[in-house]
Structure 1
Amino acid sequence: MKRLFLTISLLLLVVWAFACPVCERNQPKVLSGITHGAGPESRWDYVIVWATVAIVLCTLFFSVKWLVRPGERSGRHIKRFILNNE
């Protein structure tokens, strides 16, 4: 119940994070209404952001993949030593 309340609270806070009218007017059309502050200064800003998005998505994919199916089959793997240590 506590997690649900926290999640709902955080989602409602996101609404207040949208751009104000001045920032919305100054942003490029793609980012209008999403971000505050100065917009991207050059095309390199978009390249940097998309490269970061690609890295994060790859990291997320492999994290979930290796959490679901770790793939350690060896009997001498360190986890076997720790789990079976009596």
Structure 2
Amino acid sequence: MRKFKTILISLVLFSYAPFGFACEVCKSNQPKMLEDITHGQGPQGNVDFLITWTAAILVGFTLIFSVKFLVMPKENRPDHIKNIILE
């Protein structure tokens, strides 16, 4: 029961919304698209946006392929590395 209480209190404290959003000063310095997401200075130019979107696309592809290969690993094919080693 004590462990359950600890987990519940931790979840409540970490899920408190204002900790995850930007303050008023940071919100006014951010570009319109990112104004309530992060603290600090936002992207300074088009190159920063290009880098951010490229990274987001790469992370998206990585997520898609990792889920795909976890769900359907296709280890039954004769040219799979596992079969080459076992033979």
Tell me, yes or no, whether TM beats 0.5. yes
Contact 2:75 2:82 in 1 (8 A): no
CA shift, 1:9, in A, is 4.2
Rate the CA distance shift 1:45–1:10 in 2: closer, same or farther, 3 A: farther
Looking at structure 2, the residues matched to 6 and 74 of structure 1 have their Cα atoms a distance apart, in angstroms, of 49
Give the match for residue 38 of structure 1.
Answer: 41
Deviations 1:18-60 (A, max 9, x none): 1000000111111111111011111111110110011011011
Identity of aligned pairs, percent? 39
Decide whether aligned partners of structure 1 residues 73 and 11 sit closer, same or farther in structure 2, where only a CA change above 3 A counts: same
Gaps of 5+ in 1: 82-86
Q: TM-score, normalised by structure 1?
A: 0.72
Matches within 5 A, 1:1-86: 5=8, 8-9=11-12, 12-13=15-16, 15-74=18-77, 77-78=81-82, 81=86
Give the paired residue count.
Answer: 80
What 5-or-longer segments of structure 2 have no aligned partner? Answer: none
Shift of the 14–53 alpha-carbon distance from structure 1 to 2, 3 Å rule, reads: farther
Instruction: Tell me how large the CA RMSD over aligned residues is.
Output: 3.1
C-alpha spacing 1:42/1:77, structure 2 compared with 1 (3 Å): closer
d(CA) in 1 for partners of 2:25, 2:38: 11
> Structure 2 length normalisation: TM-score?
0.71
